[in-house]
């Protein structure tokens, strides 16, 4: 797609191709096998015990046979994975320097219709010799995955891409809810939301209550598909995950949806279109 010998500058080629210049120049840094092993353990522990911070994860890793792993190393791996402990803590509206953090708009809100609220989140996906990130747009009430993208970085452009795909396929919701990850507080992402006339809502930092159903989807995806495979390439991971999402949307009934699939619930809960006079 990018021709480094072409007379057109690479940044212009990237712009025409609709990808970030950073992605063109990005060279994945090799990850030590022992770090990949630890990251896989951290991923599983976080799914089962999302309240665990770096101290507790360090202690669990010691019990799993890694006695020399320190808290700083665990914290660094969590940061690389995009993993954060989920728990209630004071001062969650405190803004970080250089970031605009929007208030959480869903508290007390009655969500009754599909396309009323969308949630976006990103998760770490382990492979045989590396890892990738998966970003999804999920309809809040029906749990349907509206769009998804597998990428090798946490750049905001990937969150913008998946959001724009959902806009193109399903219209626009009233509210887009995210966590406070850097890809969602970035100006490009904020502007993509506002350009569609949507309100932007952000979870309290580390607040367990705000994105628990998205965490449940990650758990289903990983235990029912990702952990059963050792992906050898990004393309293989992408194909397998997209296949699972299609199955999840159309063939996997949910007890919380009265045994409907997410697609069935989404279709049933779409707001009625007024009849023309």
Note whether 73 and 132 are same-domain residues: no
Domain assignment present for residue 103? The answer is no
Q: Which two tokens stand for residue 273?
A: 């279109």
Note whether 76 and 148 are same-domain residues: no
Domain assignment present for residue 73? The answer is yes
Note whether 150 and 236 are same-domain residues: yes
Domain assignment present for residue 100? The answer is no
Burial status of residue 106 (CB atoms within 10 A of its CB: 0-12, 13-18, 19 or more): middle
Model confidence pLDDT, tens digit, residues 224-251: 999 999 899 999 999 999 999 999 999 9
Note whether 135 and 252 are same-domain residues: yes
Note whether 172 and 260 are same-domain residues: yes
Expressed as residue numbers, the domain containing 25 is: 10-81
Measure the CA–CA gap between 136 and 132, rounded to whole angstroms: 13
pLDDT level of residue 277 (50, 70, 90 thresholds): very low
CATH number of the structural domain spanning residue 209: 3.30.420.10
pLDDT level of residue 89 (50, 70, 90 thresholds): very low
Model confidence pLDDT, tens digit, residues 98-138: 557 899 999 889 999 999 999 999 999 999 888 999 999 99
Model confidence pLDDT, tens digit, residues 37-59: 999 999 999 988 888 899 999 99
Q: Which long-range contacts (CB under 8 A, 24 or more apart) does 190-199 make?
A: 190/100, 192/160, 192/163, 192/164, 193/163, 196/167, 196/172, 197/172, 198/172, 198/173, 198/174, 199/105, 199/174, 199/175
Domain assignment present for residue 104? The answer is no
Domain assignment present for residue 107? The answer is no
Note whether 132 and 49 are same-domain residues: no
Domain assignment present for residue 201? The answer is yes
Angle at 223 between CA 222 and CA 226, to 5 degrees: 45
Total domains in the chain come to 2
Domain assignment present for residue 95? The answer is no
């Amino acid at each position: 797609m990018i021709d480094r010998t072409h007379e057109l500058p690479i940044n212009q080629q990237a712009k025409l191709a609709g990808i970030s210049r950073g992605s063109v120049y990005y060279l994945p840094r090799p990850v030590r096998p022992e770090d990949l092993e630890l990251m896989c353990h951290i991923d599983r522990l976080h799914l089962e015990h999302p309240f665990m911070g770096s101290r507790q994860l360090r202690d669990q890793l010691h019990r799993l046979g890694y006695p020399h792993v320190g808290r700083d190393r665990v914290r660094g791996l969590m940061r690389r994975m995009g993993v954060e402990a989920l728990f209630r803590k004071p001062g969650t509206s405190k803004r970080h320097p250089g970031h605009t953090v929007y208030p959480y708009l869903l508290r007390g809100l009655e969500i009754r219709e599909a396309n009323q609220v969308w949630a976006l989140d990103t998760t770490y996906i382990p492979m045989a010799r590396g890892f990738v990130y998966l970003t999804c747009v999920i309809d809040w009430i029906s749990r349907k995955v509206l769009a998804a993208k597998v990428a090798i970085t946490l750049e905001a452009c990937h969150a913008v891409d998946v959001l724009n795909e959902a806009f193109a396929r399903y219209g626009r919701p009233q509210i887009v809810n995210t966590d406070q990850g850097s890809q969602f507080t970035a100006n490009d992402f904020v502007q993509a939301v506002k350009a569609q006339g949507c309100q932007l809502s952000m979870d309290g930092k580390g607040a367990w209550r705000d994105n628990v159903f998205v965490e449940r989807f990650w758990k289903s995806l990983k235990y029912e598909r990702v952990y059963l495979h050792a992906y050898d390439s990004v393309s293989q991971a992408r194909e397998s995950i997209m296949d699972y999402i299609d199955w999840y949307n159309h063939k996997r009934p949910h007890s919380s949806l009265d045994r409907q699939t997410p697609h069935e619930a989404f279709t049933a809960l779409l707001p009625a279109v007024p009849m023309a006079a």
